[in-house]
Amino acid sequence: MRKISNEELNRLSPEEYQHTKKTPVALVLDNLRSMHNVGAAFRTADAFAIEAIHLCGITAQPPHREIHKTALGATESVAWHYHQTTIAACQALKSEGYRLLAVEQAKPSLSLADFDIRTHEKWALIFGNEVFGVSEEVVALADACLEIPQYGTKHSLNVSVSIGVVLWECIKQWKV
């Protein structure tokens, strides 16, 4: 057994990436505080070729050194938009035909284990602030809430980990 070299991975060039078919998902980042989490969201979005990231409120925007540390260039490949408020981003996405799915512990919520994303719909996945989660106003605007099952003593996952878990489930259902 040996590790595969970067050259053997046959990754897309930035130009090829721009023209590849994107997964019909947009990420909405609701007032994230950590630039490292923002950078990780970009890197994960690039890995799964999602349509765009919507940065809202206090969420930092590229270019920034702290975002670049974890994004590793993905801010150049993934389309992104800034909105003053998450509500404005959600309203714009709804008008474009996206279904809004807040990733949050709420009543009622749908377990990620039971979620079937293989519809012909476009999805906007909303991820919240590291301390407060998705805001109440945004939860109220969402079409549904999606919850990641957890079995330990903690009540939440880091937002960048949550993004990875949820996007992997989406990709697994669509492409695997």
Return d(Cα 53, Cα 125) in angstroms, integer.
Answer: 10
Return d(Cα 126, Cα 163) in angstroms, integer.
Answer: 9
Global pTM? 0.95
3-state SS, residue 55: strand
As averages over each run of 10 residues, the pLDDT of the chain (176 residues) reads 91 90 95 98 97 98 97 96 98 98 96 88 96 97 97 95 97 84
User: Which H/E stretch holds residue 160?
Assistant: helix 159-175
pLDDT at 136 (0 to 100):
97
**Both structure tokens of 98:** 């996206």
pLDDT at 118 (0 to 100):
78
pLDDT at 175 (0 to 100):
80
Cβ-proximal residues to 73 (8 Å cutoff; 6+ apart), any chain: 14
Q: What is the CB-side half-sphere exposure of residue 77 using CA atoms within 13 A?
A: 27
pLDDT at 119 (0 to 100):
77
Q: Which of 134, 122, 121, 157 is nearest to 28 (CA)?
A: 134
pLDDT at 124 (0 to 100):
98
Domains of the chain: 21-148+159-175 (3.40.1280.10)
